[in-house]
Amino acid sequence: MKVLLLGRTGQVATEVIRRAPDGTTITALGRDRADLSQPGDCAEAILEAEADAVINAAAWTAVDKAEEAEDAARVVNGEAPFAMALAAAKRGIPFVHISTDYVFDGQGTEPFTPESPVAPQNAYGRTKLLGEEGVRSAGGRHVILRTSWVFSAHGANFVKTMLRLGRERAEIGVVDDQVGGPTPAADIADACLGIARALRDGAEGGTHHLSGGPDVSWADFARAIMEEVGLPCRVNPIPTSAYPTPAKRPLNSRMSGASLESAFGIARPDWRRGLRDVLRELGA
């Protein structure tokens, strides 16, 4: 299988490249060859590529910055996926697109399902929802894979931040009223590759969720990181109100992965296993 990958250095894109199984060739396009701020160029790359499937692992992920640059984020997260999905549909090849739990309102305590009403509470969520709507309207075979709290040994993420702070400080405050599923980028990559192959072979597409289990608060996740590496740093729970950010964060990021397991046999990954793998790779 020949996969055209939008993205090259992000957390998920890096893992897609690393974890592609034998018999799968990955052509990864970075910003120099497919800049999502230029949707037409991304579409042209898909139209010209020799590929059996397309995975879009690129996005505007600077959540707070999107509050002051929503127009720019809308192009990257909304218009570009639509243009890419249209190109893939024109080629008759499947399109796998990564989205987020931020399309929901983040309220309640029950896990969101793919059918749950969407109501994004910040600019990032609005632009990602626009991208979802574009992918669906393009009319091609596709899967939209919503995920959350991504971490890996690459790039900037919560795990690496906690390791740094845990070595610098005796105690830190971490939000404990936001709950969700930390998700290893490696598991997202495996899911994207498996879904792309299944779609190529005729599987039905749709919208599904992939997040690590069990659900925890950010504070509990931080404690697990400290415990795994033996750092004595104390994690003090704080409310979201004590850590204000430009973009409103969801209190509830729980998502049900039942439909993904039913449709593609992909079970919810254990983030604790993924965390140990990442810490081992980091030499922590």
User: Which H/E stretch holds residue 111?
Assistant: none
124 in catalytic set = yes
User: Which H/E stretch holds residue 82?
Assistant: helix 80-91
Q: Tell me the pairing of strands 2-6 and 25-29.
A: parallel
Residues 6 and 54: their CA atoms lie apart, in Å, by 8
* β strands within the chain, DSSP E: 2-6, 25-29, 53-56, 95-100, 142-147, 150-151, 171-175, 179-180, 183-184, 206-210, 216-217, 234-238, 252-253
CB 20 within 8 A of CB 13: no
CB 78 within 8 A of CB 131: yes
CB atoms within 10 A of CB 283: 6
Set 104, 112, 124, 149: catalytic member? 124
Residues 234 and 226: their CA atoms lie apart, in Å, by 8
Residues 261 and 155: their CA atoms lie apart, in Å, by 28
Write the DSSP symbol of residue 255.
Answer: B
**What is the distance between the terminal CA atoms of the chain, rounded to a whole angstrom?**
36
CA angle 12, 64, 276 (to 5 degrees): 35
Tell me which residues are annotated as active site. 124
